[in-house]
Structure formats: structure tokens, C-alpha cells
Amino acid sequence: MLIFARPVSDWKKSGIVWVLLASVSVIGCSGKDRKPENEVGPRFAVRADAETRAITEATGSEWVVSTQGRTATDAVDRTYTEGGNIIDAAIAASFAIGVERPQSTGIGGGGFMLYREAKTGKIYAIDFRERAPAKAYEKIYLDSKGEVIPDKSLVGIHAAGVPGLVKGLAEIHRKFGRIEWKTLLEPAIGLAENGVAVYPYLANALVEEREDLAKFPETKAIFLKKDGTPYREREVIAQTKLAQSLREIAAKGADGFYRGRIAHAIVRSTKGWISARDLANYKVRWLAPVRSTFHDYEVVSMPPPSSGGTHLIQILNLLEKEPLEKLGFQSPASLHLIASAMQRAYVDRARYMGDPDFVKIPLRTLTSKKYADQIRATIDPTRATPADALASAMPVLPEHSETTHFSIMDAEGNVVVSTQTINGWFGSKLVADGTGILLNNEMDDFSAKPGASNLFGAIGSKANSVQPGKTPLSSMSPTIVLEHGKPRLALGAPGGTRIITCVAQTILNALVYRLPLYDAVNALRIHEQWKPDVLNLEAPGFGEATEADLAARGWKLEKKGAGCAVMAVAREGNVLRGVSEPRDHGKAFAR
């Protein structure tokens, strides 16, 4: 039996909620056609009907884009039409999607970007993530008894970090852009002025966050009706103050955000928690990406302070020597090995990861094949390892969410993958007075204290403690896969701690199981992050036999939504193909 699911809303913590849509029984297999007992046919999340695929899949020969926002995809097309290059297109998409998906991202947030420059083959990793304000300190989210103060890192003034998105985009444009900066903000300005028609995911977020949105007058005036009720599907939300702020940024560049009226409003609205100096001194970081081989491919991804690239590579290294293709796509044995690799990577994430400017991270070891061999030896191919036993079994080294992602690739071999966020739905819920700018709640990505979990259930450590100027840990995993030195696949996802496992599974589906790109993205997913000690199966699940087998191996099973949304682009010979998560509200387009 094949079960299909269709999304109805974002899952509050890190993605998407699913409901059962239909079930179809497959009958009539003759004896000679029947698959062996241990083989499992592909199971997918969304029925691949023509209407869905027309929006979420595209092919072309010049360029291709996959985003989580339909107007953002349109902004890319407009930018290319006006003579822009891939960087111009990425910047236009970034500003537009911040208006279209205010629950997910915006200029009050930050993000990461990988850019492959075709003429040199160089891949740049750019960190424009939020930083902790100078007034932050390690125990700021603890009470006098040392306990975490509920919601202090999630809602209101102290939830916000210093935004980096505008500064990051401005630096990237100055270095690589082709057409005028102000032109790139025009789609976003028009959308903010004319309004966004509410789509299902935004409607659900408004309902879920209504109480907190109503706490702040400026926020309430934008995102709730005069009677305090949420906007419903197809109703229009205009963001006229945001449009004015975008005009200022279009005219003045980054200074339009980090100095002057907008900066003063942020300082005033946060009562000095974010200071004028914090804003003026914000620095974008240009980093070396993490890289490793995987079979005949090279995987390039985001380095710390994102944990995404490191542990994506770690998972792939752990699985590289496993006979996944022989075991079969979505077979219990394959799922067991994949979950075991995920579990072990998340132990190391909790142990070692933080901002490399503040803590020493054994990055070379974590991404090495030798270390993967050591860790692989702790995997029992027949039994799950309990979470509490796992950390002691592994060698000690020396020494929802809401986010959005887009991927762009062109015929010349230029690639941009970028993940951007304000963290939880509508970030801190605080709009800076008179600006229309929602400030992030990225401070929740720090560890309030060792062992405490954040919005996404990630276990914190001393390495990710709060310090002034520090960047919180992230799971964002913008990734480029090269074949013979040329782009083969580029992808990323929103979804909190699930980002890493979603990206890893999509790579495995495409490159190991050799599924078409649409199927690789649309396949049902699993997620294991060490603690809580549970293996999440995407609802409605993988079938009774598979689930019984996994349970017999010792896995504690729980069915949930996918919790992430993959945006992927790929080169297939002379064809460029893009797939925007079929579970979501995005759009793929190509020329």
C-alpha cells in the first residue's frame, strides 16, 4: 500500500504539518514480478500530479531556480530579464522572500550563502548570521536558581540578535553583482506595498502565534486585523512601513539599515539591548567551506558556526562504506543504518559545535574518513543504540523552525545556495517601531545552559553558550555537490535541526539510490538527533512491516511531519532541473 500526504501548514518548531490525503493499493503483481521480501518500493509524501509538478519542478538550459516563495522565484526571473547575474538574482530573491514569508525570514534576520564562481571554480562561504549583542552574557536566560526563564530567548527584546542579512547581501553585491542595487529591491518593495495574499502556511502561522503577535502594538497592527483576529487564506497583508524601509535600503545600501532612522528604531525598540554600536560594527565573515568526497562526488557545504555542513559530511562518511543501494531504498536495514549515522553525528554536534571564533572545534577530525571508520564500528547493524549509552560508546576527540532556502544554478556553472532565517515563526514577534521590520529570535539558538534544549529540541553545550559578539550555532546546510569538478547538485532546506538529515537523505536518494530529482526530494523522510531518544518517521509512515522491523531493532518510533523543505537544483547533461519542495508553497522555474 502506498500512502500519500499533503501539507496543510508549517510545523511550528521546524517545518511542516501533514494530513492523510489518500491511500492506493497496488495489486496484480505476478509471481515473477514480485520483489524480494527485503525490498521496499518508493514511498513519497505528495502525489506527483501534473498540477503540483508544474509549479514545483522546472527544466531549462540557461538557468534554474528553486525557492520557498513564488514571488521570490518571479523576482529571479525578472532580475535575469533585466540583465542581472546569479548574484543579482539571489539578492532579489532574498529581499522578496522576506516579504512573502514574514513568518520565516526577513531583513531583521540573517543567514548563510555558498557561491560557486564559474570562471574561477572557487566556492565562497559567506556568514551573515545574527550575532549576540554586546550586552549579552552567559546566564542571561537563567533565573536566580539557575533555571531557564521560559520564553525569554524566544519572545521580545532579549530574543533578538544583531541582524546581518542586509549587510551580507550588500557586501556580496559589491563584490559580485552586475546591475544596480536599488533595482534588486524593487520586487520586494512592490510586494510589501501591494500586499501578500495569505497562503495556507502563513495562515496557520498567524493562528498559532496570534497571542504573542498581539503583545506588540506594531506587530499586531501589521499581522492581525483590527479586531485582533488573524488574516485568513487569500486575504491580503500589506506591509507599507516595511516598503518604506526597503526604499531607504535601496537608496542608501547597508547604511540605510545599520545607521540612521532604521538603526535608531531598532535601538529604541529593544531598549538598547541592541545598541547603535552593535549595528554599526556588524561584520560579515567570509569563510572556507567544509569539503569531503562521497563516492565519485565532492560535497561542499557551510562550515561552523553552522553545524550543518560538518555533520552532513559526517553522516555521508559514515554511510559511504555501507551497501545502501544493495539493501534497497527505504528498506528497514537501510533506514536503520541511516538513522544510526544521524544519531552519532548529533552526539558530536552537542559535544563540540559553537562559534569557531570562541571555541576550538575539531573540524578536520569530525569530517575525516578515519574518524568515520571509528564511529561506524559502534553501529550494530541489527540493533539501535540507546541514546544514553551512545555518548560513552563513541570515542572522545582530543581537544516550526522556521527558515527559508533557495538554490540557483546557471549553464556556466555558477551556483548560489542560501539559507536565511529569523529563527522561530515571526522571530521575536517584535517589530522595530515605524519600520515594519520583524526582529529575529536567534538568541534561542544559543545554549541557555548545558543540557537544556532549544526550540528545536537540540541539546546545548558549553561550546554554544551565550557571549557578546558570538554567533549562535545553526544547522543550516547550503550544499553544492560537484562531479569531476563541475556542479552536479545544489540544495538546502529550512527546518531547524532537521535540515541536516533532510539534505543528507536527498543526496542519498539522488546519488546512491539514483532516484529522479523530484522523487529524491519527495520521498518520505526519517529523522534522528540523539536526544530525544526517538526515531521520527514522516507521517503517515513507511508501512506496518517496515515499522515493525525497526521497532524490533530497538528504535522508539514516532510519526511526525517532515519538518523541512528541500530546494534543489541539478545539472543533468545539458538540462538544468529544479525542484521546490512538493510539500510546501514554493516554486521552481527555469529558462
How far apart, in whole angstroms, are the C-alpha atoms of residue 489 and residue 265?
42
The per-residue pLDDT for 2 is 32
Residue 157: per-residue pLDDT: 98
Residues 590, 60 contacting (CB under 8 angstroms): yes
Q: Would the pLDDT of 400 be above 90?
A: no
Cα separation, 268 vs 256, whole angstroms: 16
Q: Are 407 and 75 in contact (CB under 8 A)?
A: no
pLDDT at 151: 95
Q: Is it the case that residue 453 has pLDDT exceeding 60?
A: no
- Could you give the dihedral angle defined by the CA atoms of residues 557, 560, 565 and 566, in that order, rounded to the nearest 10 degrees? 20
Q: What is the pLDDT of residue 448?
A: 84
Is residue 506 part of the annotated active site? The answer reads no
- Its sign, for the CA torsion 314, 16, 128, 154, is negative
Quick count: other Cβ atoms within 10 Å of Cβ 46? 21
pLDDT of 55 > 90? The answer is yes
**Tens digits of per-residue pLDDT, 476-509?**
999 999 999 999 999 999 999 999 999 999 999 9
Mean of the per-residue pLDDT values of the chain: 91
What pLDDT digit, counting tens, does each position of 209-228 carry?
999 999 999 999 999 999 99
The mean pLDDT of 31-47, rounded to a whole number, is: 51
What local confidence, expressed as pLDDT, does residue 15 receive?
36
From the candidates 67, 79, 105, 403, which is the catalytic residue?
403
Strands (E), 117-227: 123-128, 196-197
pLDDT at 465: 92
User: What is the C-alpha separation between 128 and 203, in angstroms, rounded?
Assistant: 29
Is the Cβ–Cβ distance between 427 and 444 less than 8 Å?
no
Look at the chain and count its residues: 591
Share of the chain above pLDDT 90, in %: 83
C-alpha cell at 495: 527546518
Q: Has residue 94 got a pLDDT over 90?
A: yes
Is residue 142 pLDDT above 50, yes or no? yes
d(CA 457, CA 260): 38
All three cell numbers of 302: 557551510
C-alpha cell recorded at residue 402: 522556521
**Other Cβ atoms closer than 10 A to 544:** 9
DSSP 508: I
pLDDT at position 35, please? Answer: 36
Residue type, position 435, single letter: T
Q: Residue 142 class from Cβ within 10 Å (0-12 exposed, 13-18 middle, 19+ buried)?
A: middle
Q: What is the pLDDT of residues 511-563, one digit of tens each?
A: 999 999 999 999 999 999 999 899 999 998 899 999 999 999 999 999 998 88
Mean pLDDT of 347-375: 95
Rounded to the nearest 5°, which phi and psi values hold at 278?
Answer: -55, -45
CA distance 313 to 367: 6
Asked whether 464 and 354 are in contact (CB, 8 A), the reply is yes
Over residues 230-245, mean pLDDT = 98
The predicted pLDDT at position 32 comes to 32
Looking at the DSSP bridge assignments, the partners of residue 483 are 297, 486
pLDDT at residue 246 is higher than 90: yes
pLDDT tens digit sequence for 310-354:
999 999 999 999 999 999 999 999 999 999 999 999 999 988 999
Region of residue 357 (phi > 0: left; psi between -120 and 50: alpha; otherwise: beta): alpha
Distance CA 131, CA 277 (A): 13
Q: How far is CA 283 from the centre of its chain?
A: 22
Residue 146: band (very low, low, confident or very high) from pLDDT cuts 50, 70, 90? very high
| 8 Å CB contact between 364 and 510 | no
Mean pLDDT across 354-372 = 96
- 14, 153, 346 from 475: Cα distances, Å: 11, 18, 11
pLDDT of 292 > 90? The answer is yes
Q: Which three cell numbers stand for residue 139?
A: 546566564
* 254-273 tens-digit pLDDT: 999 999 999 999 999 999 99
pLDDT band at 49 (very low <50, low <70, confident <90, very high): confident
pLDDT for 452 = 57
Q: Which helix (H) or strand (E) holds 403?
A: strand 402-410
